[in-house]
């Protein structure tokens, strides 16, 4: 099982998307957590461009203006997610790894630099 996490600092540019796609192609993670996407909308076409041809599902928490934004993508042939819940600065996923049957809770977190906002 591989879980990758990356503070991408903006996913809007083509070069960043290609870099994430190469990482996914090289490492074949079960779950990918991206922080600071700086995107208000993440859709299936964006996730498909990142994840490639294999089966996937995803959940996201949109950015607030030009900061924040979380995206969690998982290999749906390896991971079953029962629930995805977002709170301020956190995207929670609850599910199981299909082959092992292990249950998990996963928190994809991004907090602003401002101490009061943390």
**Phi, psi (5° rounding) for residue 47?**
-65, -40
7 a known binding residue? yes
Could you tell me if 74 and 58 are in contact, meaning their C-beta atoms sit under 8 angstroms apart?
A: yes
State the Cα–Cα distance between residues 54 and 72, nearest whole angstrom.
15
H-helix or E-strand spanning residue 25: helix 14-27
- DSSP string of 28-73, one letter each residue: --SEEEEE----S---HHHHHHHH-SS-EEEEEE--BTTB--EEEE
36 a known binding residue? yes
Which residues line the annotated binding site?
Answer: 7, 36
Residues of each annotated binding site for Mg(2+): 7, 36
């Amino acid at each position: 099982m591989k879980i990758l996490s990356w503070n991408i600092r903006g996913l809007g540019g083509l070069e960043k998307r290609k870099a994430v796609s190469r990482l996914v192609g090289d490492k074949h993670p079960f779950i990918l957590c991206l922080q600071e996407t700086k995107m208000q909308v993440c859709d299936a076409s964006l996730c498909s461009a990142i994840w490639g041809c294999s089966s996937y599902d995803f959940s996201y928490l949109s950015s607030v203006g030009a900061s924040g934004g979380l995206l969690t993508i998982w290999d749906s042939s390896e991971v079953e997610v029962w629930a995805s819940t977002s709170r301020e600065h956190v995207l929670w996923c609850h599910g199981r790894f299909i082959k092992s049957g292990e249950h998990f809770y996963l928190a994809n977190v991004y907090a602003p630099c401002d101490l009061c906002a943390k």
